[in-house]
Amino acid sequence: MAYYIRDHFPPGPVLGPRRPSINEFFLSSYTMSIYAGCEFGCPYCDGWVYHTRPLNEMVRVPLDIPHRLAEELTTVSRGDLVGITALSDPYQPIEQTYRITRQILQLFADAGQPCLVLTKGTGVLEDLPLLQRINERSLAIVMMTILTLTPPIAERLEGKSPSPASRLETLATLKRAGIPVGVALIPVLPYVNDTNNVLSGLLQACYDIGVDFVVWDFLDIPDRGHFNRISEMLARIGSYPPDYYRDLYGTQTLPNATYRTRCNTDLVYRCDLVTLAARIPHKVYAGKLLPPNEAALLLKHYAFYDMAQGRKHMAKLHRELADLVYQGRATPDQLAVSPLWPMLKGILGW
Contacts to ligand SF4 by CB under 6 A: 38, 40-42, 45, 47, 55, 87-89, 120, 161
> Least separation, in Å, of the C-beta of 91 and ligand SF4?
9
- State in angstroms the smallest separation of the CB of 120 from ligand SF4: 5
Distance CA 93, CA 247 (A): 38
175 DSSP 8-state letter? H
Q: Measured in whole angstroms, how far is the alpha carbon of residue 339 from the centre of its chain?
A: 28
Q: Where are the alpha helices (DSSP H) in the chain?
A: 65-73, 95-98, 100-111, 128-137, 151-158, 164-176, 196-209, 224-237, 244-249, 257-273, 282-285, 291-308, 312-326, 332-335, 341-348
List the 28-32 sheet strands across, edge first: 28-32, 81-84, 115-119, 140-145, 181-188, 213-218
**Closest distance of CB 139 from ligand SF4, Å:** 22
Smallest distance, Å, CB 92 to ligand SF4? Answer: 6
Nearer to ligand SF4, 92 or 135 (CB): 92
- Of 85 and 338, the one with the shorter C-beta distance to ligand SF4 is 85
Minimum distance from residue 54 beta carbon to ligand SF4 (Å): 11
Cα first-last separation, the chain: 56
**Residue whose CB is less far from ligand SF4, 47 or 255:** 47
Query: What amino acid occupies position 203?
Result: L
- Choice between 89 and 306, CB closer to ligand SF4: 89
Residue with Cβ nearer ligand SF4 (55 or 315)? 55
